[in-house]
């Protein structure tokens, strides 16, 4: 079948597109290759996808309504994996409009495309950041998400609400996935693993916020991809067993659900750095700094609902995942 993957030149989108192509699907990729981070890295990912005969790329901006509509009308798309977004927490301080244009207006255009073209399932990326000020661990889909601490998180919470309204009004099957700290080969240059590896190999000090007292459900990208692919094959139905997240009988007929997807094992940031040191064979100089605005000290994923729905929970440990990234980094950048 033909599947649309938005953000296909991005980190997770690239991996998802490759997996779907390997599984024999036709993939339509949508990505405008913006310059939020190194465009050459995005081009390198895209070049690998374009080696596949089953891949077609559309250079479209999600905020451009007509361009997104042309993608939907120009292909016989059956399912959509929506991963394109303005990512990052701190970038919102300097360019908040990018988040609204991409994450809110852009998501509306995707929803409209799905609505008018009979899409059988929309799977879209949310984030563990929606838990915001919540401090009850592990984070559960039943926990409140009314107090996001960043504009990025606020836009993702908005996406969840927008998707629910389209599921309710138009019967569009929607599944939101709250990602927990995804890492791995071809990762984003603004993420900790990339920044730390680059600094260690360059002999530069690492900026370690909250004095290294962070604890995270670091989740390897292959685990995320496996979860997405399994969820994609199981669109929610009205009155399905997955409606436990919407216990109100008045809304139980809505084909809508949300899952956490993250490693069930948390890892302290300093342990994460130790693994990078082991993988590079170099010792890091640490610059300890206070907690940054918008950061949360800890995140831990409760993936019980995901396990029940698709019989899968992320399983790659950081002891395997971090060395895999470092090998890719050294090969790709020849260092």
pLDDT for 88 beyond 60: yes
Closest CA to 77 of 16, 22, 12, 29: 29
Residue 209: per-residue pLDDT = 81
Average model confidence (pLDDT) for the chain? 92
pLDDT for 123 beyond 60: yes
Residue 215: per-residue pLDDT = 85
Q: 298: which strand partners? A: 215
pLDDT tens for 193-223 read 999 999 999 999 988 887 777 788 999 999 9
Task: Record the tokens describing residue 122, joined without a space.
Answer: 């929309």
Average pLDDT of the residues in 248-264: 80
Average pLDDT of the residues in 104-116: 98
Residue with more model confidence, 103 or 94:
103
Residue 239: per-residue pLDDT = 57
Lowest model confidence (mean pLDDT) among 38-52, 66-80, 153-167, 281-295: 281-295
pLDDT band at 136 (very low <50, low <70, confident <90, very high): confident
Residue 238: per-residue pLDDT = 65
pLDDT for 300 beyond 70: yes
pLDDT tens for 142-199 read 999 988 889 999 999 999 999 999 999 999 999 999 999 999 999 999 999 999 999 9
| pTM given for the model | 0.94
Q: Which of 14, 55, 131, 152 is catalytic?
A: 152
pLDDT for 244 beyond 60: no
pLDDT for 25 beyond 70: yes
pLDDT band at 266 (very low <50, low <70, confident <90, very high): very high
Catalytic, 91? Answer no
Geometric angle at alpha carbon 276, from 227 and 181, rounded to 5°:
30
Coil, helix or strand for 241? Answer: helix
Coil, helix or strand for 114? Answer: helix
pLDDT band at 67 (very low <50, low <70, confident <90, very high): very high
Largest CA distance in the chain: 59
* The CATH number fitting domain 2-182+218-264+300-315, selected from 3.40.1410.10, 3.20.20.60, 3.40.50.720, 3.40.1180.10: 3.40.50.720
> What percent of the chain has pLDDT above 70?
95
Alpha carbon distance 184, 12 (integer Å):
9
List Cβ<8 Å contacts ≥24 apart for 88-96.
Answer: 88/36, 88/152, 88/190, 89/129, 89/150, 89/152, 89/153, 89/294, 89/295, 90/292, 90/294, 91/36, 91/190, 92/150, 92/151, 92/152, 96/151
Residue 112: per-residue pLDDT = 98
Residue 237: per-residue pLDDT = 84
Alpha carbon distance 166, 311 (integer Å):
27
Residue 207: per-residue pLDDT = 87
pLDDT tens for 306-334 read 999 999 999 999 999 999 999 999 999 99
pLDDT for 267 beyond 60: yes
pLDDT for 34 beyond 70: yes
Residue 208: per-residue pLDDT = 87
pLDDT band at 94 (very low <50, low <70, confident <90, very high): confident
Residue 292: per-residue pLDDT = 74
């Amino acid at each position: 079948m033909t599947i649309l993957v938005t953000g296909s030149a991005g980190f997770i989108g690239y991996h998802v597109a490759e997996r779907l192509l390997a599984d024999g699907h036709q993939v339509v990729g949508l990505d405008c290759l913006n310059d939020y981070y190194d465009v050459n890295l995005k081009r390198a990912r895209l070049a690998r996808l374009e080696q596949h005969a089953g891949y077609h790329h559309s250079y479209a901006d999600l905020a451009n309504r007509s361009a997104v509509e042309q993608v939907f009308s120009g292909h016989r798309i059956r399912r959509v994996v929506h991963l394109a977004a303005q990512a990052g927490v701190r970038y919102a301080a300097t360019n908040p409009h990018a988040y609204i244009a991409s994450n809110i207006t852009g998501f509306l255009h995707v929803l409209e495309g799905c609505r008018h073209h009979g899409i059988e399932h929309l799977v879209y990326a949310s984030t563990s950041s929606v838990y915001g000020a919540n401090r009850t661990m592990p984070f559960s889909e039943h926990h409140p998400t009314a107090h996001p601490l960043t504009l990025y998180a606020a836009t993702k919470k908005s996406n969840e609400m927008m998707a629910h309204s389209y599921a309710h009004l138009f019967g569009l099957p929607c599944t939101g996935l709250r990602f927990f700290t995804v890492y791995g080969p071809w990762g984003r240059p603004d993420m900790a693993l990339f920044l730390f590896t680059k600094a260690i190999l360059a002999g530069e000090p690492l900026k370690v916020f909250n004095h290294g007292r962070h604890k995270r459900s670091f989740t390897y990208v292959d685990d995320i991809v496996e979860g997405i692919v399994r969820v994609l094959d199981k669109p929610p139905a009205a009155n399905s067993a997955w409606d436990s997240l919407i216990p109100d009988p008045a809304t139980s007929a809505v084909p809508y659900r949300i899952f956490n997807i993250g490693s069930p094992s948390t890892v302290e940031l300093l342990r994460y750095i130790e693994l990078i040191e082991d993988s590079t064979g170099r010792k890091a100089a640490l610059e300890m700094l206070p907690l940054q605005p918008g950061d949360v000290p800890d995140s831990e994923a409760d993936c019980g609902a995901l396990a029940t729905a698709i019989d899968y929970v992320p399983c790659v440990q950081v002891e395997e995942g971090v060395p895999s990234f470092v090998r890719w980094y050294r090969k790709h950048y020849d260092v």
